[in-house]
Chains A and B, each alone.
Chain A
Amino acid sequence: MKRVIMGNHAVSYGVRASDVKVISAYPITPQTQVVELLSEMCANGEIEAKFIMVESEHSAMTACVGASAAGVRTFTATSSQGLLLMHEILHWAVGARLPIVLANINRAVGPPWSIWTDQNDSLSQRDVGWLQIYCESNQETQDTIVQAFKIAETVKLPVMLVLDAFFLSHTFEIVDILEAEQVRKFLPPYVADRQVDITESHSFGNLASPDGYMELRYMIQKAMEDSRSVVRDVDEEFGKHFGRSYGLVKPYRCEDAETILVTSGTVASTTRAVIDKMRDEGIKIGALKIRVFRPFPFEEVFDVLSKAKKVAVIDRNISFGHHGIFFQEVKSALYGRTDIPIIGYIAGLGGRDVTPGVIREIASRAIGDTKPEREINWIGVKE
């Protein structure tokens, strides 16, 4: 059934279709509608899950860790400060190899206080060991939730979905709603390989000596590397079931492009519109959306970008003292294999609009700058 729903509710419907047993969350703008609808669904029996109310995001993630360790499918959602408060337990979920799924609505971090979008909250969790998938549309959001559980349970690592605040979370689009019965064949009920069982006493999260710690970390990295093919397979299988696939990356008119704009999130849609316009003007330009950020799709990125003459990366985030974070990642994917110039652009922090005009400006500057003075360029800053 197709319905017009907001991005946040697309998350809720994805969870509804996924036979989740425990949801624990704390409300925060702009995530609130996700759990608001989920709590209603739990209350009215649409979802047969325990909804655990908590007093903070730290507790929300802790409750998810406990529930997941007890062997049930578990979900939470948060945003910005809430995600940062979860930080300690995000590590725990990874170390304990728990397949929790989390939806993070990208919101700029304070101070100064902001409720509008940028990616610094999720990207500052880059190294904890969660898979990260950046969504662009409401349909993709719903579908990715379902995929995320399958991926997480296969690789035994938690998965974070990322949505832009307001531009995606509060925007209404047509979504083909998935029902639990349809999804069950694709995503069967979760059977944990190991459950906490009080009749069989083990120590969990116990001390590991230097003799064993590295091996456990090595296994996480290995699982991350293996997850690339899992994400790809799950996406293809999803396509077979439901006719929609999204890929790790999404290239657009890149085949003969001399310049390629690299984007993520909702900026990708706007960029494609600009690309069409510029192509009409005869400019050979394309766009690459990076959907899966962790594990980073080195090969897919290299395959697309290595054919271009110039790469411009638009980052809605900043790693202070370094560059935009997607810029760093793209650069590392190309390093030593090509000498194409890569230019970084910082735009849209704290929810500032990244309009077609802004993207056009970036594209023009990228094409014009044969030898850019700086690798990092701030767009629209009042200097």
Chain B
Amino acid sequence: MDAMTSNLATEALAQRLRAHAVRMTNAARASHVGSCLSMADILAVLYGAAMRYDPARPDWEARDRLVVSKGHAAAIVYAALAEAGFIAVSELATYAQNGSRLAGHVTRTVPGVELSTGSLGHGLPVAAGMALAAKRAGADWRAFCIVSDGELDEGSNWEAIQFAQHARLDSLVAIIDYNKIQSFGTVAEVSDLHPLADKFRAFNWGVREIDGHDHAALTEALTAGPALAGRPTAVVAHTVKGKGVSFMEDRLAWHYKNPDDEQVIAALAELGAD
């Protein structure tokens, strides 16, 4: 597949993931749809172009690992696993329902999930541990970790960021879903991360700063090797919370609200879904 065809395929996948997330959060009356939509393109490129995996063998030793540290974006993670073939698309209707295995935060009992998350600041240290295991084993699989911007307030991330560069974990890739909105307001208002890319550079990480909705840029950033030889890579992905649904975009309220039935119809129309 040439690059342009690949981008078209992952862009279409991203829109399907968004449509799933809108339907799932509506059916479950669940929060965090805005957090899901901002990382749809990242997930689509990871599963559609960048990662090595086999849905028939979720425990395949040589697979690339993805830790989703922003576990509240569970709906779109399960949607991505369904589209990738780990679970049935029909199971998405059980999201956050009684007795379902699709918990409201990312849960490892779902095939393809590497780590249960939900409390922020847990994913990156674990992904660093995975990358350390790969390095000690001389294996070539990579450890990706998606972190939100707000969760970078957690000190445990910076412990891992410091450790990972010292340990030369060059198979570790942290993807920051930098949508600029956290729980109580904008990142700039609550605890400003600017200049975020420079923070990673100062920690001796290689940095790729990109538009997190540009599939060509995402594919390049997530398939290339380390941005700095021998060091972990931070992909600072500038995103828009609620991306793809005009009335959700860049709106704090959609961290909490779930779309009602009319809003679902409007959102799906914008996403080109039924």
Q: Do A and B interact?
A: no
